[in-house]
Homo-oligomer: A and B are copies of this chain.
Amino acid sequence: MPQKKYTEIYRSLKTKIENGEYEFQEMLPSENQLILTYGCSRNTIRRAISALVIEGYVQTMQGKGVRNIFRPALQTSFTIGGIESFKESALRNHQIPKTQVLCFTEITADEKIAGRTGFPVDSQLYYIQRLHYLDGKALILNHNYFLKNIAVNLTKEIAEGSIYEYLENELHISIVTSKRVMTVEKMTEIDEKYLHLGDYNCLAVVSSQTFNSDGVMFEYTQSRHRPDYFRFQDNAVRRKAME
Residues of A that sit less than 8 Å from B by CB? 4, 7, 10, 25, 51, 53-54, 56, 59, 61, 64, 67, 69, 71, 74, 77, 80-83, 118, 174-186, 199-204, 208-209, 211, 213, 215, 225, 227-228, 230-243
Contact = CB atoms under 8 A, between A and B. Distances in A.
Contacts of A228: 184
11 contacts: A64-B213, A82-B242, A177-B235, A177-B236, A181-B234, A183-B204, A183-B232, A184-B227, A199-B201, A201-B202, A202-B202
A83 B202 contact: no
Nearest to A217: B69
Contacts of A180: 233-236
A228 to B, nearest CB: 8
A61 B4 CA distance: 18
A233 B179 contact: yes
A203 B204 CA distance: 9
B82 A235 contact: no
A69 to B, nearest CB: 6
Contacts of A179: 56, 74, 233-236
A182 to B, nearest CB: 4
A227 B215 contact: no
A150 to B, nearest CB: 15
Given A59-B211, A201-B199, A237 B183 contact: no
Contacts of A174: 238, 240
A63 to B, nearest CB: 10
Given A4-B241, A81-B234, A238-B82, A186 B215 contact: no
Nearest to A68: B215
Contacts of A176: 59, 61, 237-238
A208 to B, nearest CB: 8
